Amino acid sequence: MFYIIAFILGSIWGSFANVCIHRMPIGESIAVKRSYCPKCREKISWFNNIPLFSFLILGGKCRSCKSKIDKNYFIVELISVLSFIFVYHFFGFTITSLLLAILSIFFIIIFFIDLKHFIIPNTLTFPLMIIGFVKSFDPNLNTSLFPNYLNSLIGGVLGYLIIWLIILFYKKIRNKEGMGLGDAKLLSAIGFWFGWISIPFVIFLSSVLALLVVTPSLINKSKEMSSQIPFGPYLVLGSVLYLLLLEKIFRLLI
């Protein structure tokens, strides 16, 4: 029963994530307007806007203008559903699950916005920082996953400073910015959520993933060393990997 609830909630929040991903970068309200087709601007009826199922039933096309619907809409909803089910499977019906579900939605929205627009809105990172720090005052949370308030505070400050120093150093050497402050705020939020100990691992894992993805493009010259590359998605993936490998990391440290 709870898996079904996790599926339904994940699909609903995945649909909301799609609204945020589409509207936030262009400054549209995420709460007032009804969903509409980006091509013909026709409002979408509720029965044509059922998460996951409507995309499949309509064959990935708008019912009004028959233009193709971006497959990312389906992918976002699917990832959201899987993340909710995954969180419930491992943490059950707990506050930890609620927090991780919230984090997963923020991560999904940040991932796809930065991937397409090369920005990470403050309206996403600032709430993440606040939630990450405030939750650290609850002593009843999963202490192996979430840090205490001092650890959280150090993690938040450290995460921001590391990226800020990289930006400063790169600007001194190359006389231009290599990363954005959005990345610094995102890493700060991650530090607030998981403490200072997570920062080096997230940076390492994110950098390795970015290197693996970008290197082939550099070799075949479809990208240059100066090409703009969004680092936010790699920070998100690095954080997810950190959480998946958390138990092994603690064993290694002990």
Per-residue pLDDT reduced to its tens digit, 221-237: 766 656 678 999 999 99
Give residue 32's pLDDT band: very low, low, confident or very high (50, 70, 90).
low
CB 168 within 8 A of CB 184: no
CB 230 within 8 A of CB 120: no
For the chain, the maximum distance between any two Cα atoms, rounded to a whole number of angstroms, is: 60
CB 191 within 8 A of CB 152: yes
CB atoms within 10 A of CB 167: 17
Give residue 188's pLDDT band: very low, low, confident or very high (50, 70, 90).
very high
Can you give the pLDDT at residue 95? 93
- Average of pLDDT values for 152-175? 90
Is this prediction's pTM over 0.85?
yes
Give the chain's mean pLDDT: 89
Residues 196 and 253: their CA atoms lie apart, in Å, by: 14
pLDDT at residue 33 tops 80 = no
pLDDT at residue 176 tops 80 = no
Residues 175 and 124: their CA atoms lie apart, in Å, by: 29
The SS3 assignment for 50 reads coil
Could you tell me where the DSSP H helices lie in the chain? 2-23, 53-57, 71-91, 95-117, 122-134, 149-174, 181-194, 198-219, 232-244, 246-253
- Average of pLDDT values for 208-220? 86
Can you give the pLDDT at residue 224? 65
- Average of pLDDT values for 210-226? 78
pLDDT at residue 54 tops 70 = yes
Segment 63-119, tens digit of pLDDT = 888 888 889 999 999 999 999 999 999 999 899 999 999 999 999 999 999 999 999
Give every CB contact of residue 89 below 8 A, 6+ residues apart in sequence.
Answer: 3
Torsion of CA 53, 58, 63, 65, to 10 degrees: 130
